[in-house]
């Protein structure tokens, strides 16, 4: 629902909102006051970042917001020449695979009505990937690699590593992943996984370039 600008939202919040969004994803749970200001000032934020050829993506229900590069209209050469403030990051193949599996798991979790937070242990992450690995793979190496890949996805903002007093770590799957892996992509998931399986069996699990985020 679009929130109207009102006197309760101080105008000097606009620079703080822009800076926070330019740094990465903004979550409601991280700063309720700043989130409230974003809801009230979102029209001004959209105008502000549009000058930088960016657009605001805000999901009030899920509680996150981020900036992405505006799509360039065909023939708009001036916009195409503008430098990108939000860079596309090349992802290794294992990270791409794990992201795909996490998006699938999140869809299943939502369909089951199991709650709002999907938390997976390191071993559960490894189990998601294990079925796609060639027979005879080194189990200990797989676990070590899974943790490395999970930490990378944590840095990207799609997982949140939870503090643990002892034992292996667990991770919360951030719901913003739904915004980056859309329904159409998910509908083609089986075909993509088959392609992943063939690539892995071809000995390419080491880390060729996969997708961009």
Q: CA-to-CA distance for 11 and 5, rounded, in angstroms?
A: 10
1 domain-assigned: no
145 domain-assigned: yes
Chain segment 159-194, per-residue pLDDT in tens: 999 987 777 889 999 988 888 776 666 666 667 667
Dihedral sign for Cα 102, 127, 191, 137, please: positive
Co-location of 138 and 208 in the same domain: yes
What are the phi and psi torsion angles at 23 (to 5°)?
A: -80, -25
Q: How many domains does the chain divide into? A: 2
pLDDT at 44 over 90: yes
- Tokens 């703080």 found at: 16
Chain segment 45-80, per-residue pLDDT in tens: 999 998 888 899 999 988 899 888 876 554 445 444
CATH code (residue 128): 1.10.10
Q: CA-to-CA distance for 208 and 85, rounded, in angstroms?
A: 25
pTM above 0.85, yes or no: no
Domain that holds residue 70: 13-81
Chain segment 82-127, per-residue pLDDT in tens: 444 445 566 777 787 888 889 889 888 988 886 788 999 988 998 8
């Amino acid at each position: 629902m679009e929130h109207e600008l009102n006197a309760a939202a101080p105008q000097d919040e606009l620079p703080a909102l822009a800076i926070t969004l330019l740094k990465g994803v903004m979550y409601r749970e991280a700063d309720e006051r700043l989130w409230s200001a974003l809801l009230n000032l979102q029209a001004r934020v959209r105008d502000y970042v549009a000058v930088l050829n960016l657009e605001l993506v805000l999901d009030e229900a899920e509680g996150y917001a981020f900036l992405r590069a505006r799509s360039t209209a065909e023939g708009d050469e001036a916009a195409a020449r503008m430098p990108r403030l939000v860079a596309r990051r090349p992802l290794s193949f294992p990270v791409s695979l794990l992201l795909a599996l996490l998006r699938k798991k999140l869809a299943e979790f939502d369909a089951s009505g199991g709650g709002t937070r999907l938390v997976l242990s390191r071993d559960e992450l490894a189990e998601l990937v294990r079925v796609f690995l060639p027979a005879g793979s080194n189990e200990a190496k797989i676990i070590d690699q899974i943790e490395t890949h999970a930490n990378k996805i944590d840095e990207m903002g799609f997982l949140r590593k939870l503090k643990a007093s002892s034992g292996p770590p667990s991770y919360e799957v951030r719901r913003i992943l739904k915004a980056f892996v859309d329904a159409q992509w998910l509908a083609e998931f089986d075909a993509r996984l088959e392609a992943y399986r063939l690539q892995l069996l071809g000995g390419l699990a080491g880390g060729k370039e996969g997708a961009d985020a």
